[in-house]
Structure 1
Amino acid sequence: MRAKSETRRQAILEAASDVFQEMGFERATMAAICERLGYSKATLYNYFSSKEELFSAVAFGATEIEFQATLSALNTDVEDMTKALEDFGRGLLTLLYAPDVQAVRRMIVAEAGRSELGKQCYKLGPVRSEAALAAFLQQAMKSGKLRQADARIASLHLRALLESELLDRFLFQTLDQVSAKEIRSMVQRAVAMFMAAYGPA
């Protein structure tokens, strides 16, 4: 019974992903997703209580493995801080600036002021990433690998540096696909600046 329920949930996520991509979040409806599936609204609402909840599941379910892999670079036992931060940075930018993830992020930004979607996605993405990164930096500060500072602010500075060469182009939709070589160079520059500010004396 549980396997059948999970199969049905996965079918809903796949159909919803198609509908959101074709129609955008605002024009997509639960009715359209039901029609695509051949399910009743009662069945759909049994799994997801709102369109916002369903979109969040679609957006983050597909990238959760990559998200966790990115966070795994934040190993508190690491000796080389520069390498650890570069590994994290490459993973983060590769994830955030993949074409399909860019499309989802734009939908979230466009809808954020009209519903609870922005708050939900903020908690699932940036808040989780910031907490993990701040904890890692705090540990590095305690062990003398970074200078003492507010770890949360440092995590925000690092994130801003990592995205500094891409964010405006992303927001104004002038960003083409970013190559692995470009990401590597951007991350090296960002981490060098971060270490210049936060590296041990």
Structure 2
Amino acid sequence: MRVKTDAKRRAIIEEAGKVFNAVGFERASMAEICTRVGGSRTTVYNYFPSKQELFIAVVIESVAAEYEAVHQPFEEQVEDVGEALRCYGERFIALIYSPKIVVTRHMMIAQAKHSKAVHELYEQGALRSQQLIAQFLEPLMAAGRLRPADPLIAASHLISLLETEFRHLLLLDSPEVLSNEVIREGTRRAVEVFMGGYGAAPVRGKDD
């Protein structure tokens, strides 16, 4: 029985990443990846049963640092809630509408019923993002800086609003690359709507 090792898994991911970056997902072949890794094809397939699952592993590895950077605004002391959400939103949209993530999201939709890796990517990506946003929103709600609500649902609303102006690019498989200005303005409008629904009501004086 062959023993799987983390070092071997990472070596496969590293070589596969070079191939995917050089020729893209469609043109990349498992045969080429196996040749670069060395050893038998059985070894590679023992770690990754399909090219799709290997590609997903490569994406997870390659965007790990960017993913953490996206959520950095939630780790800092917040003075302006809207500004923190805008900062998060701009980084979030720039990442999930980058070409490699768009390819991965298409693959997730196609392979959702057949691949455990898709569920792993969802849990490590989209679901974890929602949970991190909820953890950020919950104390703000408790402090009266946002309206009290279910923070997970509020997080889901925020994510949906942020994607509203850009989702057609995913659905239509558009090659359009979003400029910083387009991302900034779309994010600003999304956060305005979110704060309109979840922003704390102004305190009124006795004479109001």
Partner in structure 2 of residue 130 of structure 1: 130
- Contact map agreement 1:111 1:117 (CA 8 A) in 2: no
- Which residue number corresponds to residue 170 of structure 2? 170
| Contact 1:90/1:183 (<8 A) preserved | yes
Q: Specify the SS of the correspondent of 1:173.
A: coil
Count of residues in correspondence between the two structures: 193
Distance 2:35 2:121 in 1: 26
Equivalent residue, structure 1, for 2:56: 56
Would the alpha carbon gap of residues 24 and 115 (structure 1) be closer, same or farther in structure 2, given more than 3 Å must change? farther
Unaligned segments of structure 1, at least 5 residues: none
Instruction: Indicate the structure (1 or 2) with the bigger Cα radius of gyration.
Output: 2
Q: CA deviation at 1:115?
A: 2.5
Once superposed, which parts of structure 1, at least 4 consecutive aligned residues long, lie more than 6 Å away?
Answer: none
Under a length normalisation based on structure 2, what TM-score does the superposition of the two structures give? 0.81
Once residues 163 and 192 of structure 2 are traced to their aligned partners in structure 1, the CA distance between those partners, rounded to angstroms, is: 14
The CA RMSD over aligned residues, in Å, is: 2.5
CA contact (8 A) 1:161 1:194 kept: yes
User: Which residue of structure 1 aligns with residue 104 of structure 2?
Assistant: 104
Q: Give the whole-Å Cα distance in 2 for the aligned partners of 1:181 and 1:195.
A: 21
CA contact 2:66–2:95 (8 Å) conserved in 1: yes
Q: Structure 1 residues 62, 190: closer, same or farther in 2, change over 3 A?
A: same
CA 122–103 in structure 1, closer or farther in 2 if over 3 Å, else same: same
Equivalent residue number for residue 147 of structure 2: 147
Quote the offset at 1:56 in angstroms. 3.3
Give CA deviations for 1:102-133 in whole Å, capped at 9, x if unaligned. Answer: 22222222222333232121111111101101
Q: Which runs of 5+ in 2 are unaligned?
A: 1-5, 202-208
CA contact (8 A) 1:24 1:107 kept: no
